[in-house]
Amino acid sequence: MAFKTWRLSDRVSLIQETGVASFMRCNIWHVRGRDCDLVIDTGMGLGPLKDWVLRETDRPIKAIVTHCHFDHSGSLHEFDCRLGHPAEAHNLAAPQNRAVVYSGAWTEIEIVDPRAHPDFDPATFRITPAPLTGYLDEGDVLDLGDCAFQVLHTPGHSPGSIALWDAKARTVFTGDALYDGDLLDTLYHSDPATLRRTLSRLQGLGAEVFHGGHYPSFGKARMTELVESYARGENTLVDVVAWYHDMRRETPDIYADQDWSGVRLD
Ligand SMILES: [Zn+2]
């Protein structure tokens, strides 16, 4: 199986691609609504994600990318309704490896398990073009009938990064602007000063549950630690290759399941 699903609540399931290194494994979120469902981010495209999601729902699906990077946009092309920020649109319509960040140091480290994906060739890997069918920007609302998400423009990691905020449930999906790990602000189109502003905005939102683009979800106390340590210049990722080797020393099985046992949702 190319995917695994964990049901976190009646509303939210987490889907992850199998055979992708823990630090690169995108959180693919399936959010169930009365009238339609959301799929937030789509992984690297190593398997048929839409078919996997359709096993769980017969409602219409809106696929949303928080940003254009290869670990989030790989299966976007499979969906009929593809939504994202206009500033990411050109990289989704005509993905270049350089622009979707599958380039440089990222191609020098192992991120896909050859035992799980024997046909994966890092040298020829490309993201399938997925032109957006609609734009999402600050102030837009995604209404699922029994819940609604406000779109927040959260640039810094990339210019058109977005977050989805359910004010009633105090829950926010933050993409790669904020997750429980080292943040990336030195990519070709990243901007650290902008990311700092985005993080202080997320800090002031009043959210209780944070679902990031990678790693297990977290609450308010952990959010504060992460945002404050970023402000001190701590949790950022600068030297990808050195970081990767540290990671492999600490966690030799980089493909093992993550520990989500500490994640509590009501
Ligand atoms: Zn990512």
> pLDDT tens digits, residue range 222-231?
999 999 999 9
For residue 202, which of 261, 150, 135, 258 has the smallest C-alpha distance?
150
Q: Distance, CA 119 to ligand 1 centroid (Å)?
A: 22
Q: How deeply is 57 buried, as exposed, middle or buried, from its count of CB atoms within 10 A (0-12, 13-18, 19+)?
A: middle
C-alpha of residue 24 to centroid of ligand 1, in Å: 7
Q: What is the CATH classification number for the domain harbouring 199? A: 3.60.15.10
Contact (Cβ atoms closer than 8 angstroms) between residue 165 and residue 152: yes
- Residue 259 maps to a domain: no
Instruction: Kindly state the tokens that stand for 14.
Output: 């987490």
Retrieve residue 121's tokens.
Answer: 């060739």
Q: pTM for the whole thing?
A: 0.97
229 CA distance to ligand 1 middle (Å): 20
3-state secondary structure of 210: strand
**Overall domain count for the chain:** 1
Per-residue pLDDT of the chain (266 residues; tens, 9 = 90+): 799 999 999 999 999 999 999 999 999 999 999 999 999 999 999 999 999 999 999 999 999 999 999 999 999 999 999 999 999 999 999 999 999 999 988 888 999 999 999 999 999 999 999 999 999 999 999 999 999 999 999 999 999 999 999 999 999 999 999 999 999 999 999 999 999 999 999 999 999 999 999 999 999 999 999 999 999 999 888 888 998 998 888 888 999 999 888 887 65
Q: Is residue 22 part of a domain?
A: yes
Separation of CA 180 and ligand 1 centre (Å): 12
Whole-angstrom Cα distance, residue 169 to residue 213?
A: 19
Task: Give the pLDDT confidence score for residue 261 in this predicted structure.
Answer: 84
Rounded to the nearest whole angstrom, what is the distance from the C-alpha of residue 214 to the centroid of ligand 1?
6
**Smallest Cα–Cα separation from 229: which of 241, 240, 237, 217?**
237
Centre of ligand 1 to C-alpha 68, Å, is: 9
User: How far does residue 124's CA lie from ligand 1's centre (Å)?
Assistant: 20
Ligand 1 centroid from CA 179, angstroms: 9
pLDDT of residue 237: 86
Alpha helices (H) in the chain, listed in sequence order:
49-54, 70-73, 89-93, 192-203, 220-231, 240-250
State the distance from the centre of ligand 1 to the C-alpha of 43, rounded, in angstroms: 9
Distances (CA, A) of 252 to 23, 167, 237: 12, 39, 20
- Find the Cα–Cα–Cα–Cα dihedral 17, 13, 61, 27, rounded to 10°: -40
Q: How far is the CA of 44 from the centre of ligand 1 (A)?
A: 10
- DSSP code for 127: P
Domain assignment of residue 191, yes or no: yes
Q: Is residue 230 part of a domain?
A: yes
Q: Classify residue 72: in a domain, yes or no.
A: yes
Residue 173, strand partner residues: 164, 211
Q: Let me know if residue 264 belongs to a domain.
A: no
Does any domain span residue 262? no
pLDDT at 255: 94
- Ligand 1 center from residue 182 Cα (angstroms): 11
Residue 207 falls inside a structural domain: yes
Sign of CA dihedral 134, 136, 137, 140: positive
Secondary structure class of 180 (helix, strand, coil): coil
Q: How far is ligand 1, taken at its centre, from the CA of residue 188, in Å? A: 14
Going from the Cα of 100 to the center of ligand 1, the distance in angstroms, rounded, reads 10
Q: How many angstroms separate the alpha carbon of residue 176 from the centre of ligand 1? A: 6
Range of the domain at 86: 3-250
